[in-house]
């Protein structure tokens, strides 16, 4: 795709592939050497791997894709489902060093319910997205209610994926459902505009960078579309049966005796309790992989007693690791943090120093899980903690990763 303003915009290389029956991938990035330091970020295949090298052998791309003729070359790219109904139209794209823009129109069944649903954990009165802007840049949102009003409310989770019911076919019968996944890790604003009369939904996306990597999925049911989505992003871990039971958790249980009292009160009231949780109260000075040996004396024995009663225990673990390197500060070294410094597993600032954020521990460092050494470090210290307190799972909190500073607080 040649730029219409070559002195300003770079040429793009756009690839359209049929990965499986009903799954079309549209990928775009710079067509040649950019001449700049910043190149479009691609989500690593260790995170998202859709087997792009494995193309569909049972059908041709033309069964799902049409390209209209424009005045100066190829125009809009349209994607159909197996019934021949156009569900997705790619109107245009722009890619620069700090912007990835795309404009699309998706067609929904106006007689069913105009609109699309999705774009991560949106708490509102309607599953379908009303007109407005929906921001995707996760943070510890204190009031996670989405309004669609500018400037957009950042939610806890990031899933740039939405679904809709496709329009009826030529005979007036249901033609199935569709899903759209944008494989982009940058901060994003999604603008939604619904046409109630036609069922068309205009979707305009502004991302702060990243290569374009879009997947359009069509199937007969929302369940089948969901399976397609999971074939791209991976499947969740199977939930253990006990995790579906009744769990008790709150901030403020600040001693082992308080936890014992909660469990005893459940028993006295005849209410089954499957799992007792602990918020950050149990930690030693907000340090992951530790517990307060004074206020939570006997925590390990308490958990063993829960196990004897066929119950379970879950402690909180925060993504931000407390920076505690001054032994005089709290009487002892924080070994997990010092080990992380030694292993060089924390996220750095542009000058190569540990990036300092702030969470409940005040100053905090964040493990870089793209570093191959980080998983081993994380497992090591979870194991050490489990040797003291035999927890059954962990509540991994603030893993957006949340930061009370607007970026780096200051260099360490």
Q: What is the CATH number of the domain that holds 39?
A: 2.60.40.1760
d(CA 231, CA 49): 9
Tokens of 276: 């007792």
End-to-end CA distance of the chain: 45
37 and 161 fall within a common domain? yes
Residue pair 391/313 in contact (Cβ under 8 Å)? The answer is: yes
Q: Are strands 177-182 and 212-219 parallel, antiparallel or unpaired?
A: antiparallel
Please say which residue of 201, 233, 265 terminates a domain.
233
Please say which residue of 201, 216, 233 terminates a domain.
233
Q: What is the pLDDT along the chain (412 residues), one digit of tens a residue?
A: 555 555 456 778 889 999 888 899 999 988 876 566 678 888 888 888 777 767 777 788 999 999 877 555 556 899 999 999 999 999 988 888 889 999 999 999 999 877 999 987 666 677 889 999 999 988 777 777 778 888 888 877 788 999 999 999 999 999 999 999 999 999 999 999 999 999 999 999 999 999 999 999 999 999 999 999 998 888 888 899 999 999 999 999 999 999 999 999 999 999 999 999 999 999 999 999 999 999 999 999 999 999 999 999 999 999 999 998 765 455 678 999 999 999 999 999 888 999 999 999 889 999 999 899 999 999 999 999 999 999 999 999 888 788 888 777 875 5
* Residue 48: inside a domain: yes
297 and 168 fall within a common domain? no
188 and 253 fall within a common domain? no
* Residue 25: inside a domain: yes
187 and 274 fall within a common domain? no
138 and 203 fall within a common domain? yes
125 and 193 fall within a common domain? yes
Name the residue among 264, 137, 229 with its Cα closest to residue 190: 137
- Which one of the listed residues 82, 140, 349, 397 is annotated catalytic? 397
Please say which residue of 205, 233, 261 terminates a domain.
233
181 and 80 fall within a common domain? yes
Give the pLDDT of residue 5: 53
Q: What is the CATH number of the domain that holds 258?
A: 3.20.20.80
Give the pLDDT of residue 116: 93
The sheet that has 395-397: what strands, in order across it? Answer: 247-248, 275-278, 312-318, 395-397
* Residue 144: inside a domain: yes
Give the pLDDT of residue 289: 96
Radius of gyration, alpha carbons of the chain? 25
Residues in the chain: 412
Give the pLDDT of residue 141: 75
d(CA 297, CA 180): 51
* Residue 56: inside a domain: yes
* Residue 5: inside a domain: no
Range of the domain at 224: 12-233
202 and 293 fall within a common domain? no
208 and 63 fall within a common domain? yes
216 and 348 fall within a common domain? no
Which pTM value belongs to this model?
0.86
* Residue 221: inside a domain: yes
Burial annotation 49-58 (CB, 10 A radius, 16+ → b, else e): ebeeeeebee
- Which one of the listed residues 97, 257, 279, 400 is annotated catalytic? 400
304 and 388 fall within a common domain? yes
290 and 225 fall within a common domain? no
* Residue 293: inside a domain: yes
Give the pLDDT of residue 84: 94
Residue pair 390/300 in contact (Cβ under 8 Å)? The answer is: yes
Domain count, the chain: 2
* Residue 4: inside a domain: no
Active site annotation includes 224: no
Active site annotation includes 305: no
Residues with Cβ within 8 Å of residue 6, at least 6 apart in sequence:
none
Give the pLDDT of residue 25: 93
């Amino acid at each position: 795709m040649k730029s219409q303003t070559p002195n300003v915009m770079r040429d793009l290389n756009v690839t359209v592939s049929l990965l499986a029956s009903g799954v079309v991938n549209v990928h775009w990035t710079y067509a040649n050497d950019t001449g700049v330091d910043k190149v479009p970020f691609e989500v690593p295949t260790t995170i998202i791997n859709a087997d792009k090298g494995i193309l569909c052998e049972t059908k041709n791309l033309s069964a799902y894709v049409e390209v209209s003729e424009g005045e100066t070359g190829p125009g809009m790219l349209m994607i159909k489902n197996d019934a021949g109904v156009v569900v997705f139209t790619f109107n245009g794209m722009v890619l620069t060093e700090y912007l990835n823009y795309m404009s699309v129109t998706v067609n929904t069944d106006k007689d069913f319910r105009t609109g699309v649903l999705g774009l991560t954990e949106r708490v509102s009165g309607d599953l379908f997205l009303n007109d407005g802007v929906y921001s995707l840049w996760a943070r510890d949102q204190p009031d996670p209610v989405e309004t669609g009003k500018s400037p957009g409310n950042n939610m806890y989770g990031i899933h740039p994926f939405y679904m809709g019911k496709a329009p009826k076919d030529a005979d007036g019968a249901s033609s199935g459902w569709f899903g759209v996944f944008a494989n982009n890790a940058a901060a994003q604003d999604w603008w939604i505009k619904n046409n109630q009369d036609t069922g068309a939904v205009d979707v305009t996306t502004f991302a702060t960078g990243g290569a374009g990597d879009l997947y359009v999925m069509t199937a007969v049911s929302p369940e089948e579309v969901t399976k397609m989505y999971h074939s791209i992003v991976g499947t969740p871990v199977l939930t253990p049966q006990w995790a579906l039971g009744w769990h008790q958790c709150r901030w403020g249980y600040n001693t082992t005796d308080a936890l014992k009292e909660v469990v005893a009160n459940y028993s006295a009231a005849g209410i089954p309790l499957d799992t007792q949780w602990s918020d950050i109260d149990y930690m030693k000075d907000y340090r992951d992989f530790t517990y307060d040996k004074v206020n939570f004396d006997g925590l390990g024995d308490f958990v063993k007693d829960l196990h004897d009663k066929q119950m379970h225990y879950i402690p909180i673990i925060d993504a931000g690791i407390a920076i505690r390197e001054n032994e005089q500060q709290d009487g002892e070294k924080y070994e997990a943090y010092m080990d992380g410094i030694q292993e060089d597993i924390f996220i750095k600032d542009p000058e190569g120093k540990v990036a300092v954020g702030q969470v409940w521990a005040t100053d905090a460092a964040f493990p870089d899980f793209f570093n191959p050494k980080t998983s081993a470090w994380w497992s090591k210290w979870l194991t050490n903690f489990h040797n003291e307190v035999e927890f059954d799972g962990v509540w991994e909190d603030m893993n957006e990763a949340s930061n009370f500073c607007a970026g780096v607080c200051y260099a360490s």
